Amino acid sequence: MGHHSCCNQQKVKRGLWSPEEDEKLIKYITTHGYGCWSEVPDKAGLQRCGKSCRLRWINYLRPDIRRGRFSPEEEKLIISLHAVVGNRWAHIASHLPGRTDNEIKNYWNSWIKKKIRKPNTGTSTSSIPQYSNIQIPPTILTQDFNSLTQFEPLENQTMINSNPNDNNSIFPSSPIPLFMFESECGVTMAKDDHELVADVGNLNLVDIWNTNGNQNDHQALSPLSSFVDHNYLPPLVDGLVTMGPVPPGCIGEDCEASGSHECFEKNELSEWVEAQQYPGFYIWDQGLQGQIGGDDLPVSTPPKSNTDNSVDTFPSSL
């Protein structure tokens, strides 16, 4: 494995960085900044390739890096985000200030994997993880609502919902699994659609998934069919966890004026709608710039207490 595409010069050094190299790189970047990484090694007096310099700076040397163990909150966020976006480490890292994608990836691979076991479905080719108590939308995994099987219990139940009163569990306030919501921009959900609401603890993450399992219906909702066909989770979630609650009373044209316009700044939401926190869910469609879900639609309200398990969130047929 001697080849390195960008570092094929004899002089280029590889492997661990020495303190002297770190010092040179820090000194150069802090005084000159970085524009073109390929120029950095020469100008900084380093016998490294630009790519290596960039990696070293981004992952370890930049001043805003946050070291040390992940907090329980960070851990919850990582798990929740990973349940939604899969192995998009850079995306996950963007929600954890000071953490790098590499760090999160390593953390996930070394630590979290131990606590969350993927059930062996044997047939799914999806890269989206399936967690015991985090139920992935069935249409992504199977395209067949009725074929969804209950996930196996965790081998290690210390993390997820082992105790709804345990604030260290991932979803301490809700027995409801994590879902997402799908709707094409401009398509109002039919009233008899199943819509599932999940509340992820204190993370303000509310995902709704239209569980109308009729595959034909989904395919009618172009462009959603593209990911349905490919078992691929669409890039819809940039705003999902960062948005604050839609203010009560903020509906339709009044929305921007009352401050929730931030939801319209999320580029990746163009074809998706958002559900927001209780009390009262408002489901927004960016294309319509208005509420398409809420009081008129059968949107469940998550429990307000840890002991409220009465919310009907999943069809009994499952």
Partner DNA sequence: AACGCAGTCAACCGCTGTCGA
Partner DNA sequence: CTCGACAGCGGTTGACTGCGT
Binding site for DNA (CB under 7 A): 1-5, 7, 13-17, 34-39, 48, 50-52, 54-56, 58-60, 87-91, 101-103, 105-107, 109-111, 114, 127
Q: How many CB atoms lie under 10 A from the CB of residue 74?
A: 18
Report the residue number, 1 or 257, with the smaller CB distance to DNA.
1
State in angstroms the smallest separation of the CB of 265 from DNA: 18
State in angstroms the smallest separation of the CB of 144 from DNA: 25
User: What are the backbone dihedrals phi and psi of residue 149, each rounded to the nearest 5 degrees, phi first?
Assistant: -110, 150
Report the residue number, 35 or 279, with the smaller CB distance to DNA.
35
Q: How is 121-170 classified by DSSP, letter by letter? A: -SS----S---SSS---HHHHTS-GGG--PPPPPSSTTSSSS-TT-TTSS
State in angstroms the smallest separation of the CB of 171 from DNA: 23
User: What are the backbone dihedrals phi and psi of residue 200, each rounded to the nearest 5 degrees, phi first?
Assistant: -100, 85
Report the residue number, 104 or 299, with the smaller CB distance to DNA.
104
State in angstroms the smallest separation of the CB of 55 from DNA: 5
State in angstroms the smallest separation of the CB of 20 from DNA: 12
Angstrom distance (rounded) from CA 195 to CA 203 = 20
Q: Are 303 and 174 in contact (CB under 8 A)?
A: yes
Report the residue number, 65 or 311, with the smaller CB distance to DNA.
65
Report the residue number, 136 or 176, with the smaller CB distance to DNA.
136
Q: Are 228 and 140 in contact (CB under 8 A)?
A: yes
User: What are the backbone dihedrals phi and psi of residue 3, each rounded to the nearest 5 degrees, phi first?
Assistant: -80, 135
User: What are the backbone dihedrals phi and psi of residue 218, each rounded to the nearest 5 degrees, phi first?
Assistant: -65, -40
